[in-house]
Structure 1
Amino acid sequence: MKNIFRTKPIEDLIKETQGEKSLKKVLGAFELTMLGIGAIIGTGIFVLTGIAAANYSGPALVISFIISGIACAFAGLCYAEFASMVPVAGSAYTYGYTALGELWAWIIGWDLILEYLFAIATVAIGWSGYIVKLLASAGIVVPKALANAPDAGGIVNLPAVLILAVVTGVLIIGVQQSAKLNNIIVGIKVAVVLLFIALGLGHVNVANWSPFMPYGWSGVLSGASVIFFAYIGFDAVSTAAEEVKNPQKDLPRGIIGSLIVCTILYIVVSAVLTGMVPYLKFKETAAPVAFALEQVGITWGSALVSVGAVCGLTSVLIVMLFGQTRVFFAMSRDGLLPKVFGDVHPKFQTPVKSTLLVGIISMVVAGFTPIGVVAELTNIGTLTAFIIVSAAVIVLRKHEPNRKRAFKCPLVPIVPGLSIAFCALLIFKLPVITQVRFLVWLVIGLVIYFVYSYKHSAMNSGKSNAA
């Protein structure tokens, strides 16, 4: 069973990107940065800020965002080194395969399936809630039976299903078209966030920042583990590695650039938000940014923020669905999932079957399942993947110190070690039930690996040379 730790040579991975199953290279640094911002700014800033402020951090939400941002910055530097060195679809899954071996690669891939699939469904349900409210304000009422899952008193959440169908179609047509649409949407939602900051600054009451840390440091750390969801998405940039024109330079720029922009916006928004409205009031709403503007009498601004939220959640869906399909594609090409999902369409040069699979499963989950704890499940899967990628940087530096690295993570092993420590701390602060559910998910994944994936691995066919 020692073969479960066989690694895949980087040369073999790069060679696969040049064959008939290769993806079209159309993305640059700007598109990658916009993809990152598109995935990061969404559910976190428009939904989770209120939850974290009211129940965990209070006005110290700013510190929670800084802590999560630092954890992501350390992890982002590790991702940037791998992305520039291994410009292949699959992100953390692929990096784990090259440094730690097949079993660890499978565990990361299984984590990413958890992260993306449930995040996609959750965001789609959130998108549905916003669009139903906007339509109602325009006099168009969507029947509750068609706007809620069965357990919530409906038949199907139709808006969630429809938006996922549209996004799936866009991704099938081509990544270049998807990126252009994403650029437009990201521009709109960033403009809306800046508008909120401009409007809210004049209504900040410093008295609302006292007490600053009502739940203590424990609350701040718990808040950081909750709003960590707000940063999920920068890793999706690395899933696009195979479709980047100059991956050695552009991937690190896209990962780090999107993190910097979003962290600055998050810190400013959280400070303005908690200064406008007493933090306990956010228990009354799931749309804190629009709620804050309503509380100070700027109702037209609240409506604009709702439009921005719809745009924000749409771009998150585009990037998350994109990332999930690329992970499926990479795992299928390696034989760990059925080979059929590694096929590339001859005209569109996209993994159509992987895209359809992810799209259909997401539609079913979003349309028929009310999800209340998915944010925590998504977070723990992502944090685990970050830990493994950070460890992989240390391992590969030791095993292949002379390999050319277009971008080097600084201060190895200190920076990867700090990434591991911060992510482990955030996992520890998540609810115990979330940790238990995650372990169950891992056990299911390990059963699938030993029953199917190990036997069907491309490593067994001699197509790749195990190290």
Structure 2
Amino acid sequence: MEKTKSPTLKRSLSLKYIVFFGLSFMAPTTMFSTYGIAVHSTNGMMTTAYVVALIVMLFTAYSYAQMVKAYPTAGAAYTFTQKSLSPHIGFLAGWTILLDYVFSPMISSLFLGIAMNAYFPSVPMYVWISIFIVSITTINILGITIAAKFNTVILFLQFGTFTLFTVFSIKGLLNGQGAGTLFSILPFIDSNANMSGIMSMVPVLCFSFLGFDAVTTLSEEAKNPKKSIPRAIYLITIIGGTLYLIGSYFLQIVWPDYQSFNNPEAAYIDIAMYIGGNFLVSYILAEGTMSCFASAIASGASASRILYAMGREHVLPAKIFGYLSPKYRTPVYNLLIIGGIAFSSLFLSLTFAISLINFGALLTFTLVNLSVIAHYYFRKKQRSIMGTIRYLIIPLIGASLTGLFFVKLDIHSLILGGAWLAVGFLYLLNLTKMFRQPPPELVFEEAQ
């Protein structure tokens, strides 16, 4: 009797949709809602902090691009480190990066619940959060193509926010508002600024770039992944970084006195009202609500693919985590689990989630940078002059930068992230019978 063929992930994503998917994960317009607090932390030099964060992320994006050429599978950082460094480190990398993706939908749920409750205070927050989580889970279950197209629409609304804000900013500056000039070094250089404050903010801003790494989890659903995924990684990092630089620049020069905000968390509302009135405020608030959908869908899809890669190879229970719906060819059980975790937004704080995510992101970025050195420079012996530059010096700089900012995380991030890593380590001990056997390795099968 012929064995029934198991369903596989479907190759359906072109470069365009991969880039849109990654940018949707980033949700670039969230920089507006965090501006007031971030500009205080950087003493008015938020744009400079974004420049530093962009440089750090470009080095790491380079390493992700190199590794996806070697291993174009759904496991992403989990796969890269497992095959290049060691199976045990690979497991811990996958365990850690789950923090980024699994908790991102929870953050989006919380943002949306707070916003909708402010608009409609008579409706309990849990109602909005429940509707939101059910909606994003359903969209992801129906298929990656539907999710990508939905996110594309939302992404262009975000582009509209940046365009409108830039146009109103230029108009206001030309009319004498704010700094009264289109060109100023104020967002970049301030004699009163404290560099330690800027550097302490960079790890938080690196979280804003999550998205270039998320698309590597779609390698088995991308057309020609060895070319399209690396290109998407660079495009997402550069486009996202450019939007952050432009947005933070105009936010500051249209309102130079950043210390005058009554409520830093709502600073962007004051600025939008100042330059664009109710129209601009309404658009930014409405689009911000929709961007929560885009980010949650993208992060939920990415997390489900990592869980699927781990379940498929029996690192996690395969019947649950390695299951694909025969009809939709999506990891349904994983998406339901992620949706359930998102309901933690009803009782967990935003600070708690962001602390975990920053820990997971920077630790994983460091490991991926080191994976390039292990795979290409040592294993493949790419040690010519160009090989040394590409596969030793560049990733070593990337690892040094992400490692530096990892140790600069606040104590809450280190404690909470360390606790999560300790749980993963204990699970690994059980999985490998106290390291007497290696954890299961991924088998690289091209999706049909």
Same fold, TM-score > 0.5, yes or no = yes
The counterpart of 2:429, out of the listed 437, 450, 454, is: 450
Q: 2: distance between equivalents of 1:317 and 1:176?
A: 15
Superposition deviation, residue 43 in structure 1: 6.6
Q: 1:221 aligns with which of 199, 215, 222?
A: 199
Give the C-alpha shift of residue 308 in structure 1: 1.7
Inter-partner Cα distance in structure 2 for 1:329 and 1:458:
22
Task: Name the aligned partner's letter for residue 61 of structure 1.
Answer: M
Equivalent residue for 1:395, pick from 374, 378, 388: 374
Does structure 1 retain, via aligned residues, the 8 Å contact 2:14–2:222? yes
**Closer/same/farther in 2, CA of residues 324 and 104 from structure 1, 3 Å limit:** same
Structure 1 residues 369 and 93 mapped into 2: Cα distance closer, same or farther (>3 Å)?
same
The alignment status of 1:254 with 2:232, answered yes or no, reads yes
Query: In 2, Cα distance between the equivalents of 1:353 and 1:415?
Result: 39
RMSD over equivalenced CA pairs, Å: 2.6
In structure 2, the partner of 1:74 is 59
Question: How far apart, in 2, do the equivalents of 1:158 and 1:458 lie?
Answer: 47
2:16 partner amino acid: F
Tell me whether 1:197 sits opposite 2:166 in the alignment: yes
Matches within 5 A, 1:184-333: 184-204=153-173, 205-206=178-179, 209=186, 212=190, 214-277=192-255, 278-282=257-261, 284-296=263-275, 298-333=277-312
Given residue 256 of structure 1, which amino acid in structure 2 is its aligned partner? Y
Corresponding residue for 1:108?
93
In the superposition, relative to structure 1, how do residues 455 and 161 fare at CA in structure 2: closer, same or farther (>3 Å)?
farther
> Relative to 1, partners in 2 of residues 1:263 and 1:409: Cα closer, same or farther, differing over 3 Å?
farther
1:346 maps to which residue? Answer: 326
Question: Within 5 Å, which residues of 2 pair with 1:170-189?
Answer: 170-189=139-158
- Please say which of residues 454-463 and 437-446 is displaced more in the overlay: 454-463
In the alignment, is residue 356 of structure 1 matched against residue 336 of structure 2? Answer: yes
Q: Give the 5 Å matches for 1:83-122.
A: 83-122=68-107
TM-score, normalised relative to structure 1: 0.85
CA distance 1:350–1:63, shift in 2 (3 Å) = same
Secondary structure (helix, strand or coil) at the match of 1:335 reads: coil
Identity fraction in percent: 23
Q: Deviations over 1:429-460 (max 9, x none)?
A: 22123212222221111011112366999967
Across the two proteins, how many residue pairs are aligned to each other? 425
> How far does residue 202 in structure 1 lie from its aligned partner after superposition?
3.1
- Aligned-partner Cα distance in 2 for 1:120–1:453: 31
Shift of the 21–306 alpha-carbon distance from structure 1 to 2, 3 Å rule, reads same
- Equivalence for 1:372: 351
Residue 53 to residue 412, structure 1, CA distance change in 2 (3 Å): same
Cα gap change, 1:104 to 1:461, in 2 (>3 Å): closer
**Matched residue, 2:391:** 412
How far the C-alpha of 1:297 sits from its partner, in A, is 5.8
Structure-2 change in CA distance of 1:166 and 1:338 (3 Å):
same
Q: Cα 1:73–1:462, aligned 2, differ >3 Å: closer, same or farther? A: closer
Measured against aligned partners, the alpha-carbon deviations of 1:406-431 in whole angstroms (never above 9, x if no partner) come to xx996221111111121122223221
Q: In the superposition, relative to structure 1, how do residues 457 and 188 fare at CA in structure 2: closer, same or farther (>3 Å)?
A: farther
1:159 counterpart residue number: 128
How far apart, in 1, do the equivalents of 2:295 and 2:278 lie?
26
Residue identity in the other structure for 2:84: A
Is the partner of 1:73 in helix, strand or coil? helix
Q: Counterparts of 2:436 and 2:228 in 1: how far apart (Å)? A: 31
2:31 maps to what in 1?
45
**Contact residue 125 and residue 160 of structure 1 kept, 8 A:** yes
Q: Is the 8 A contact 2:315 2:440 kept in 1?
A: no
Q: 1:87 to 1:458 in 2, by over 3 A?
A: farther
1:42 Cα deviation after fit: 4.2
Q: Distance in 2 between matches of 1:455 and 1:330?
A: 23
Contact 1:186 1:311 in 2 (8 A): no
Task: Give the match for residue 417 of structure 2.
Answer: 438
Runs of 5+ unmatched residues, structure 1: 1-18, 148-156
Structure 2 residue identity aligned to 1:188: L
1:10 corresponding residue in structure 2: none
Q: Is the 8 A contact 1:78 1:409 kept in 2?
A: no
Q: What letter matches 2:155 in structure 1?
A: V
Q: Which amino acid aligns with 1:348?
A: Y
Instruction: Answer yes or no: is the 8 Å Cα contact 1:285–1:291 preserved in 2.
Output: no
Could you state the TM-score of these two structures normalised by the residue count of structure 2?
0.88
Q: Which runs of 5+ in 2 are unaligned?
A: none
